[in-house]
Structure 1
Amino acid sequence: MTGKTHITGGIAASLAFAQITNYDPVILLSAGVVGAILPDICHGGSKIGRALPVLSKIINTLFGHRTFTHSLLFLLLIGALLNATPLHEAAIAGVLVGMASHFILDMATKRGIKLLFPFKLNVRFPITATTGGTAEYFVFAALSLLSVYFGYEAFAVYL
């Protein structure tokens, strides 16, 4: 999936998560966007890869694309690292929800992800889309609509 689809997925997931928690939706939303792009640190052409090119190159050289940074192991590691910081619980939850949305979206691509890294098993859904293709456009549109719906619900108290 492209960066814009991952960001929109992170927004939709964070706002949906805000519906079932008492976390501040603004914090969840902001952190969810960060989490949604974080797994692509392994790809030099991604938004985060271009922002941190040296780190991206190191991670890609060590692990490749859609392996370690797209795994449950990475999700648990990031969760443990964030829990060791003084970050607000909503920020930690937002990052993790955003990362989970990224994993789910990439599992809907033909290549899938190494969710159980270091095992070489490739995980993907039975029906997949091509990155940047027509099906992804429809996924992006659906996520955009969900973001509006969940955003209205999450921010209705401010209206």
Structure 2
Amino acid sequence: MKGKTHIIGGVASSLAVAHFTYADPVLLIGAGIAGSLLPDICHGGSKIGKTFPVISKLINFVFGHRSFTHSLLFIVLVAFLVDYFIPNDALKLGLITGMISHYILDMATKSGIQLFFPISFKVRFPVTTRTGSFTENIIFSLLCLVSLYFGFQVLGVYIFNFINDFNMGELMAKPVYFIS
């Protein structure tokens, strides 16, 4: 899948998770986007690979593409490191959610992923598509609709609560006069 499809997949999945949890949706979405791009650090032509070319080349040289960084081992390692170094639960949850969405989207391609690395078995769905195909564009469009749906559900409540908190703070700052 292309980077834009992974990004919208990270947004859609993060919004869905935010809908069912009490995690901060803004932090969850930001981390979800980062997590949706992270597994492609092994590919020099990816958005994250271009951002960190030295790391990307090193990982690709050692492991290749869609192997270690697309495995359960990698997601467990990242989860452990994130849990140790990042104290915010929304950031942790978003990063892992984005990575899982990346894995699912790449399992929909003909190449599949090496989910059980170091075992060289590739995992893919029975029906697959090619990167950049018309089918990927349909998947992208559907993920946009999912994002809109959960975006209104989650961010609508988030914005309402923010405005409500702001108005309450404003009311508390003004003196209240009672006429009897």
Q: Percent identity?
A: 54
1:88 counterpart = 2:113: no
CA distance in 1, matches of 2:155, 2:8: 17
Who is 2:48 aligned against?
A: 48
* CA displacement, residues 30-68 of structure 1 (integer Å, 9 cap, x when unaligned): 000000000000000000000000000000000000000
Who is 1:105 aligned against?
A: 105
- Name whichever of 84-93 and 25-34 sits farther off: 84-93
TM-score normalised by L of structure 2? 0.87
SS where residue 123 of structure 1 aligns? coil
1:26 counterpart = 2:26: yes
RMSD of aligned C-alpha atoms? 0.6
CA distance in 2, matches of 1:116, 1:93: 22
Higher relative contact order (CA 8 A, sep 6+): 1
- Residue 156 of structure 2 aligns to which amino acid in structure 1? A
Who is 2:174 aligned against?
A: none
CA distance in 2, matches of 1:9, 1:73: 21
1:78 counterpart = 2:78: yes
Cα pair 2:14 2:97 within 8 Å, conserved: yes
- Residue 57 of structure 1 aligns to which amino acid in structure 2? K
TM-score normalised by L of structure 1? 0.99
Q: Which has the larger radius of gyration?
A: 2
Q: CA deviation at 1:85?
A: 1.0
- Name whichever of 105-114 and 78-87 sits farther off: 78-87
Aligned residues, how many? 159
Who is 1:59 aligned against?
A: 59
Q: CA deviation at 1:87?
A: 3.2
CA distance in 2, matches of 1:43, 1:84: 27
SS where residue 45 of structure 1 aligns? coil
* CA displacement, residues 55-107 of structure 1 (integer Å, 9 cap, x when unaligned): 00000000000000000100000000001113311101100000000000000
